[in-house]
């Protein structure tokens, strides 16, 4: 079964790189969610701003940096096309590729030639990729705090089908998404930061097509 980390495309590298993480994209710590100054008083206004920003994003491309609980890190390229579509290509030697095609999230291990699938609606990715985003209706809000120009929004799955929490970090006042932290059921924290973001470009729809395993394609060719 694909865990919460996998469903968020936060899988650790098969061969993690035991080195220091790259330079920090924000003020936040790479090992744990940052301490914040206190609860947000203008809650409704902030949620409206976040919803407006997320719903305004049609396409987006960026680099991402993923820091695992053991301090190892992986990097790669992210492409997003709302509604429903996302792709993460990890840099070598990590063989993972993660694709959401609108209904399904697939985790492909290109070295093992395997693909694991999970419904998009059963992953927290749905909170970012659904056609019309309304955070307060879509998720259980654990906390909402701000510090140093960033807004920290922690969410849980209201159905409790997915264990753990996710903290999204938005830059104020635009509420641009900068990074997220996932805390799993064991309290282990994984961080993903976005860098070099660009939006509004045309993306090839084939980027979000989930490939079939080689053996299945070969069997079809032999018919």
Nearest-5° angle of CA 161, CA 52, CA 58? 80
What is the C-alpha to C-alpha distance for residues 190 and 143, in angstroms, rounded to an integer? 18
pLDDT in tens, the chain (223 residues): 233 333 343 333 333 333 343 344 444 344 555 555 556 778 999 999 999 999 999 999 999 999 989 998 899 999 999 999 999 999 999 999 999 999 999 999 988 888 999 998 888 788 899 999 999 998 999 999 999 999 999 999 888 777 788 999 999 999 999 999 988 888 899 999 999 999 999 999 999 999 876 644 554 455 4
Do the beta carbons of residue 103 and residue 84 sit within 8 Å?
yes
């Amino acid at each position: 079964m694909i865990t919460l980390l996998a469903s968020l495309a936060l899988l650790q590298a098969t061969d993690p790189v035991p080195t220091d993480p790259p330079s920090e994209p924000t003020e936040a710590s790479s090992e744990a969610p940052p301490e914040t100054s206190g609860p947000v008083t203008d809650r409704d206004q902030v949620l409206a701003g976040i919803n407006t920003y997320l719903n305004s994003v049609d396409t987006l491309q960026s680099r991402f940096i993923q820091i695992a609980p053991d301090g190892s890190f992986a990097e790669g390229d992210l492409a997003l096309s709302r509604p429903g579509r996302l792709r993460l290509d990890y840099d070598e030697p990590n063989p993972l590729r993660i694709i959401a095609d609108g209904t399904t999230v697939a985790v492909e291990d290109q070295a093992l030639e395997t693909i694991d699938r999970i419904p998009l609606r059963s992953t927290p990715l749905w909170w970012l990729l659904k056609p019309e985003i309304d955070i307060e209706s879509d998720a259980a809000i654990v906390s909402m705090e701000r510090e140093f120009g960033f807004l920290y929004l922690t969410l849980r799955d209201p159905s409790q089908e997915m264990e753990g929490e996710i903290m999204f970090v938005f830059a104020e006042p635009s509420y641009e998404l900068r990074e997220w932290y996932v805390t799993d059921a064991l309290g282990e924290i994984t961080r993903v930061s976005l860098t070099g973001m660009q939006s509004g470009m045309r993306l090839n729809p084939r980027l979000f097509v989930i490939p079939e395993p080689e053996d299945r394609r070969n069997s079809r060719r032999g018919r």
